[in-house]
Copies of this chain bind each other. A is one copy, B any other.
Amino acid sequence: MVTIKDIAARLEVSASTVGRALADDPRISAAMKQKVQEVANDMGYVVNRAARMMRGVSSNLVGLVVPDIRNSFYSTIAHALSKCLESADLQLTLSETDDDRLVELRHIRELTSVNVAGIIIVPTARPHPESVRLLKMTSCIQLLRRHASLGEHWFGIDDTQALFQATRHLVELGHQRIAYIGGTTDLPTGAARLQGFHGAVAGSKAAAHVREELGAPASTDFGRDAIRRLLALRSPPTAVVLGSVQNTQGALEELHASGVSVPETLSVVGFGDELGFRWWGPGLTTISLPVSELATACGLWFIHQLKQKSANPAPYSSVSPPTLVVRGSTRAVEAANASRAPARSRQLAG
């Protein structure tokens, strides 16, 4: 490895001169800078970040901590952040937690030990106290999910609004037996989405016939099974709204496999707008979330915050609005349906 000393030796100047020249220090003459640059290039010099870090400067590494990068939400985020941080000469490191707080802790430990410039995290449901302690010492931004103990910096999506819109759409189409398939309320996102769902049916005729299937949000299997259970009911729902991408994917597979006619028998509103949702059956009506924009906003803010380098940057949080994309998988309950099915339900309710 060629070091600053090697360059200094070759030019017969001191190491600090070279160091300063490389750092574009105003005290160094242009001529010297020029020469240093040349020799550095010639010898193939690359800074040793480790050494630099020992002088207190934090690294140019930014930790991204997500549950699973295969989830397109997170790969979209990783991409957007990577692009964004690149312009500030920052490198992204990737850590996957699998939604396990111990794995999360291990990764956070790792990240602190390499002195990351900061951490952008989609936290697990209840982070380990030690994780919390470590994150307090770093500049940390939360993404999508928000956990109070991890500080005020948060970029997220209005999950309540998302499910409210989705469900409202079904209510307005006249659906009364509406089911929700989504994550449990452990995660703040799960709770918020469920709340949106309830908010939308509240006060409508649908309120009495609502059914929830809550499970692991990151599992396609759960989505599949939930659909199966719903279809097996004596009076199955006429519409279903999904509360997570994976659950949606599982549900779509099951619906496709079981040959249920959508939207004739069942209206479906998905969560997220994955590639392929457009061509699922009649086209999936779904909630589209501005994930990429969110991540970019987060990255920009992170860089900004880093530049300030004030010990306690102003807390900031932002919520982005979701959009409902209406395609073919939802329609108004048919007259026949409306007279037959609700009659049954009414009995149940009464």
Contacts and interface: CB of A to CB of B under 8 A. Distances in A.
Interface residues of A, number: 56
A265 interface: no
Contacts of A50: 49-51, 53-54, 59, 114-115
B91 A114 contact: yes
Interface of A: 44, 46-51, 53-54, 59-61, 64, 68-70, 72, 75-76, 78-79, 82-83, 86, 89, 91-96, 103, 106-107, 109-115, 130, 133-134, 249, 252-253, 256, 274-281
Ordered nearest first, which 6 A-B pairs have the shortest CB separation? A276-B276, A50-B53, A256-B279, A75-B75, A93-B93, A50-B50
A68 B72 CA distance: 12
Contacts of A93: 61, 91-94
A279 to B, nearest CB: 4
A92 B94 contact: yes
B46 A112 contact: yes
Contacts of A86: 96, 103, 106
Nearest to A50: B53
A274 B279 CA distance: 13
Contacts of A49: 50, 113-115
Contacts of A61: 93, 114
A59 B53 CA distance: 13
Nearest to A45: B113
